[in-house]
Chain A
Amino acid sequence: MSKRIITMIVSICTATTLLWTVGLIITIQDQFFYEASSIKQPKPTTSNIKQNNGLSIVALGDSLTRGTGDETGKGYVGYVVDDLKKRTNQHMQFTNLAIKGQRSPQLINQLKQKEVQRQLKEADIILMTIGGNDLFRGGEALRDLSHAQIEKEKKKFVEQLHTIFQLIRTVNDDATVFYIALYNPFNDLGNGKETSAIVRSWNYAASEVAADYKSIICVPTYDLFELQVNDYLYTDKFHPNKEGYKRIGERVASLITLTKGEK
């Protein structure tokens, strides 16, 4: 009995040794002698079947949308989703495409990506923040830039925001877009008055841009942080903390009206 088992094992071993040797030969042939000319580009099998009939939310933008500063990692987007889950039984699909430190030109590039466009196309609600990094550049910009310089930056930003909204609208012309406007994290510093004025003028410009498009809503946050700004800021004195994000989230959530499956 034992003899048969051993003979069997030995035969398996021999057979597999051969198999693995074949594998090695294929490796050598495939990896070392591959003819670059015969590259066959895979044909993209675009399957744009919308898989979920539920609510699709896509978040775009920078660290605010990412949720930097919120120790729970949710960010305002998380609170919005939480709130929606309470209000509806609908299946919810949520993708967060925000990248920390992203500025408007980078967002434009991102929006040109095929897969991002595919997801946007399926989206029912689009949440986004942009412009914070264009304006503040980590906090140093406001300190020494001249008025003229800031105006120039603003003009550039307005143009890019147009591009962004246009891109979104060409891909998806009926999703509701919530553009979350800027707050001033520096308003209790010495030059709070000046910086506040700049932020207000940016927000005004942005809301003017948003008004040009169908169902793009500019959500103000400036007022949320106007009093006791430090209570709502993270230790970096720039990003909101958990409480700050909650306030933004509440405000955005209150604006979202659910047309189907509402409780």
Chain B
Amino acid sequence: MINLVYNEMLKIVRKKRLFIIAAIVAVLVSLFTYAQLKQIETIRERIGTTDWRTQLQQQIIDTQNRLNSTGISEEWKKFLKIRLQQQQYYLDNDINPMAPGAPTFMRMFIENSIELFLPLLVMVIAADLVSSEASGGTIKLLLTRPVKRWKILMSKYIAMILSTSFIVFSVAILSYAISGIVFGYGGWNLPLLTGFSIQGEELNTAAVHLIPQWKYLLIEFGLAFFVSLVVGTLTFMLSVLIRSTAAVMGIMLAALISGAILSSMVSSWESAKYLFMVNLRLTSYISGMAPPIDGMTLSFSMMVLATWALVALIVSFYVFTKRDVY
């Protein structure tokens, strides 16, 4: 089995996919770093101070003003209200959630990339794991070795898991290394609040507690890894079912983007919460953002995602071991 996994990793590495992905991440992180820097500068210019309390207070007031303006949707209003309460909570407890530093940037970056960017990267690897063998004809050589089919598929799945963690790792390391140049490398022990739960329009702070930023990051990256695995598994299934890598990518892309769009407008369509793509923002639960649909919680989303992945895995293995290869 180790040999088989080695083979799969060899192919992934030699296709240069991992390096391309790392390069994409590096470029994006640089862009984000620059954007973040600009944003900080603008705020500083507007308010005339670097004191985070003043900045946060100003943000709260800005949010309150937005809440009072007419013509914003109910969903948005709810989202703003919850954010408002959270910001106030941070302010009242004298904690700066945005203290500059590479770890803070990492946190912001992973929270923003968990829904679309990271799944897209994972998709690039997972989409052609099986389908490229089918379209290149090499599947015939693989399946005529004295190795059981499920083992071959399992080795590919393990390779997918390994590359997924590599991608998450490269996001972590690159966002830390690049943003650190600008924001400095400290801030691992910054205390952060977690455990918010949302009940209707109210933010429940009963279980709120402080954890250091490194632990917070570990949690968020763990969740990002989980989400990536689920997306990877679904892509993997499509890769088994469909010979064309382009078609696999197309379908996954459509699903992921529709998820991003749906999450901002499905609050009235309740059964949409069973779709995997509206459940991808797991980090929102940690930071206490309003979920797209009422009644969604971290455990709910994780269960939904795990179920999707499990079904996809069963389908993949069943089809792959039973199928006639033409």
Q: Which residues of A contact B (CB under 8 A)?
A: 2, 5-6, 9-10, 12-14, 16-17, 19-27, 30-32, 34, 36, 38-42, 44-46, 51-52, 54, 66, 91-101, 114-116, 118-119
Q: What 0/1 pattern do residues 107 to 137 of B give for CB contact below 8 A with A?
A: 0000000000000000000000000000000
A42-B222 contact in complex given A13-B165, A94-B47, C-beta closer than 8 Å: no
Give, as a whole number of angstroms, the nearest-CB distance from B261 to chain A.
27
Is the CB–CB distance between A27 and B223 below 8 Å?
yes
Which segment of B34-42, B208-216, B252-260, B310-318 sits at the interface? B208-216
Question: B93 — which chain A residues lie within 8 A by C-beta?
Answer: 41-42, 44
- Excluding A23-B222, A39-B209, A119-B54, 13 further A-B contacts by CB distance (< 8 Å) are A10-B6, A12-B169, A19-B218, A20-B165, A20-B226, A23-B225, A42-B93, A95-B49, A95-B58, A96-B61, A97-B61, A99-B68, A115-B56
- Considering only residues 277-321 of chain B, those with a C-beta below 8 Å from chain A are 285-286, 298-299
User: Nearest Cβ distance between residue B299 and chain A, in whole angstroms?
Assistant: 6
CB of B13 within 8 A of chain A?
yes
User: With A31-B286, A99-B65 in contact, is A51–B222 under 8 Å at CB?
Assistant: no
User: Does A24 contact B61, Cβ atoms closer than 8 Å?
Assistant: no
Contacts known (A10-B162, A22-B218); A96 close to B225, Cβ less than 8 A: no
- Chain B residues within 8 Å of A46, by CB: 94
Could you say which residues of chain A place their CB within 8 Å of the CB of B211? 30
Residues of A within 8 A of B220 (CB): 23
Contact residues in B for A97 (Cβ distance below 8 Å): 57-58, 61
- In the bound complex, CA of A98 to CA of B75 (Å): 24
Asked if A114 and B9 sit within 8 Å, CB to CB, the answer is no
A94 — nearest CB in chain B belongs to which residue? B48
| Interface range for B | 35 or more
Given known A-B contacts A42-B94, A44-B93, A23 and B219 have beta carbons under 8 A apart: yes
A31 in contact with B194 given A13-B165, A16-B166, A51-B51 (CB within 8 Å): yes
- The verdict on B53 contacting chain A, using a C-beta distance below 8 Å, is yes
Chain A contacts of B226 at CB under 8 A?
Answer: 20, 24
**Inter-chain contacts of B163 with A (CB < 8 A):** 13
Q: Which residues of B contact A114 (CB under 8 A)?
A: 91-92
**Complex Cα gap A91–B47 (Å):** 11
Contact partner, B6, options A6, A34, A38, Cβ 8 Å: A6
CB distance from A8 to the nearest CB of B (A): 10
Q: Are B207 and A34 interface neighbours, CB within 8 A?
A: yes
Once the chains are docked, how many angstroms separate the CA of A101 from the CA of B61? 12
CA distance A36 to B58 in the complex (A): 32
Q: Which 8 A-B pairs have the closest CB atoms?
A: A23-B222, A20-B225, A13-B162, A93-B48, A24-B222, A16-B169, A17-B165, A23-B218
Contacts of A51 in B (CB 8 A): 49-51
A9 and B166 contact, Cβ closer than 8 Å, known pairs A32-B299, A40-B210, A97-B57: yes
A17 and B223 contact, CB distance less than 8 A = no
Whether, in the assembled complex, B203 has its beta carbon less than 8 Å from a beta carbon of chain A, the answer is no
B195 in contact with A23 (CB, 8 Å):
no
Q: Contact between A115 and B57 (Cβ–Cβ < 8 Å)?
A: yes
9 A-B contacts, Cβ less than 8 Å apart?
A10-B162, A17-B162, A19-B165, A22-B222, A34-B207, A95-B57, A97-B58, A99-B61, A114-B92
Give the dominant DSSP class at A's interface: helix
A13 in contact with B48 (CB, 8 Å): no
* Residue B251 is within 8 A (CB to CB) of chain A in the complex: no
Q: Closest chain B residue to A38 by CB distance?
A: B209
Tell which of B94, B168, B191, B285 touches A16, judged by Cβ atoms closer than 8 Å: B168
Does B98 sit at the interface, judged by CB under 8 A? no
Point out which of A12, A16, A25 has the most chain B C-beta atoms below 10 A from its C-beta. A16
- Minimum CB–CB distance from B125 to chain A (whole Å) comes to 11
- Taking a contact as CB atoms closer than 8 A, the residue among B5, B53, B208, B215 that contacts A26 in the complex is B215
Asked whether any CB of chain A lies closer than 8 Å to the CB of B157, the reply is no
Interface centre among B50, B69, B191, B219 (most CB of A within 10 A): B219
Check if A42 sits within 8 Å of B162, measured CB to CB: no
Closest chain A CB from B108 CB (angstroms): 17
Q: Which residues of B contact A20 (CB under 8 A)?
A: 165, 168, 221-222, 224-226
B242 interface hit (Cβ, 8 Å) = no
In the complex, the chain B residue whose C-beta lies closest to that of A11 is B162
Q: Are the CB atoms of A34 and B209 closer together than 8 Å? A: yes
Chain B residues near A92 (CB, 8 Å)?
48
Asked if B18 CB lies within 8 Å of chain A CBs, one says yes
How far, in whole Å, are A9 and B218 apart by their CA atoms in the complex? 21
Contacts of A5 in B (CB 8 A): 13
Q: Are B53 and A115 in contact (CB-based, < 8 A)?
A: yes
Contact of B138 with A by CB under 8 A:
no
Chain B residues near A38 (CB, 8 Å)? Answer: 209
0/1 string, B25-43, CB within 8 A of A gives 1: 0000000000000000000
- Check: B161 CB closer than 8 A to any chain A CB: yes
Interface string of B88-106 (1 = CB under 8 A from A): 0001111100000000000
- CB-CB under 8 A from B286, the residues of chain A are 27, 31
